Amino acid sequence: MTSTPPGPGSLAAGHLPVAKGHGTQNDFVLLDDRDGLLALDAPLVRALADRRAGLGGDGVIRVAPSASLPEGTAVLADEPRARWFMDYRNADGSIAQMCGNGVRVFAAYLERLGAWDGAGELALGTRAGVRRVTRVPVPDGLADAVWYSVDMGRWFLPGGERATDAGSDAEVRVAGLDVPRAALSVDLGNPHTVLALADEAELEAADLTRAPDVAPVPPDGTNVELVVPLGEHTMDDGTVVGRVRMRVHERGVGETRSCGTGACAAALAVRTWAGPGAPDVWLVDVPGGTVRVTARPDGHVELAGPAVLVATADIDLDALPAR
């Protein structure tokens, strides 16, 4: 355990202590605001997440007391143990409900700060409700140092039975692909639209430097996942595991190396398309690594994967882009 870094009280002096971490290369700037003193606004988020003039990241995560936010107070009413709240912002400064990779990095950060001992279950507050985190063994064949598993809560298909039967409820046009593709909406506390491609050549051809066009247009935007099913295999213990490869365009960010809720959405969409008898456990390969998604009998989905803290820093606020 390292010593606790200075808190945001130094903000008044023009400096802000931060950390940097990632989950399968979905990267974040982390702020220790356990005293609840930092006013995190969109201009500051954009400046910190700027990859050339700031520290750089797909988003910014603030550790805040749950009791200091209305959303956190609501979480505490359901789970009094959820002392800490993951205040997550996209790189463009917009507020986001959830980030599956971010939850694991948040847990690793709390462990680094000494606010969690890494044992047992950690209950966290998020804008999508309580998230429960545990440390889990690293799967065979993967070299990651530490894995965390997160109960991501309930998931559902906004299109209901009609979308399940049809296999889609939306159409997506992606630059680099010749025709619009049918897609399936999946909700994990934040919105996702998943489309299947024929092979990895199509996946490579997709141009995600531009946001895909989704119809009908989602009222709050959507993350778009492009997936290629890679089949199934049986583990030594008899568990059948599916596998998919994915790329993602995140709303408010652009293409990222990984997206935790997006990996869940991709696995759940492919599982829906596969129909009865499809595996409950899926490995999802993203440009930044591999995560494991499990559809549980209670209607919840579980996401497991690595979390890595790579640096601490002291940001000179006067040197950031104009806010």
> Which is it for strands 122-126 and 26-32: parallel, antiparallel or unpaired?
unpaired
The predicted pLDDT at position 286 comes to 98
Residues in contact with 286: Cβ distance below 8 Å, sequence separation at least 6, in sequence order: 24, 245, 246, 247, 248, 257, 258, 259, 263
Same fold: 8-153+308-319 with 160-298:
yes
**Sign of the CA dihedral with 171 first, then 204, 225, and 30 last:** negative
Burial of residue 197, with CB atoms counted within 10 A of its CB: 0-12 exposed, 13-18 middle, 19 or more buried = buried
Whether cis (ω within 30° of 0) applies to the bond prior to 216 is yes
pTM of the predicted model as reported, rounded to 2 decimal places: 0.91
Amino acid, single-letter form, for residue 113: L
Specify the pairing of strand 191-196 against strand 223-234: parallel
User: Residue 2: what pLDDT?
Assistant: 36
- Active site members: 99, 259
Contact 225, 192 (CB under 8 A): yes
Helices (H) and strands (E) in the chain, counts: 6, 18
Domain boundaries, given as residue ranges, for the chain? 8-153+308-319, 160-298
| CATH fourth-level superfamily of 160-298 | Diaminopimelate Epimerase; Chain A, domain 1 (3.10.310.10)
Per-residue pLDDT of the chain (323 residues; tens, 9 = 90+): 333 444 444 465 788 999 999 999 999 999 999 999 998 999 999 999 999 999 999 999 999 999 999 999 999 999 999 999 999 999 999 998 889 999 999 999 999 999 999 999 999 999 999 999 999 999 887 877 899 999 999 999 999 999 999 999 999 999 999 999 999 999 998 999 999 999 999 999 999 999 999 999 989 899 999 999 999 999 878 889 999 999 999 998 899 999 999 999 999 999 999 999 999 999 999 999 999 999 999 999 999 999 999 999 999 999 998 77
Q: What spatial distance separates the first Cα and last Cα of the chain, rounded to whole Å? A: 35
Residue 71's pLDDT is: 96
Please say whether the beta carbons of 279 and 271 come within 8 A: yes
3-state class (DSSP) for residue 36: coil
What 167-173 contacts at long range (C-beta under 8 Å, 24+ apart), as own/partner pairs, is 167/272, 167/273, 170/214, 170/215, 170/216, 171/214, 171/215, 172/212, 172/213, 172/214, 172/215, 172/224, 173/212, 173/213, 173/215
Alpha-carbon distances of 184 from 29, 32, 239, rounded to whole Å: 31, 37, 26
Identify the pLDDT of residue 4: 40
* The architecture CATH gives domain 8-153+308-319: Roll (3.10)
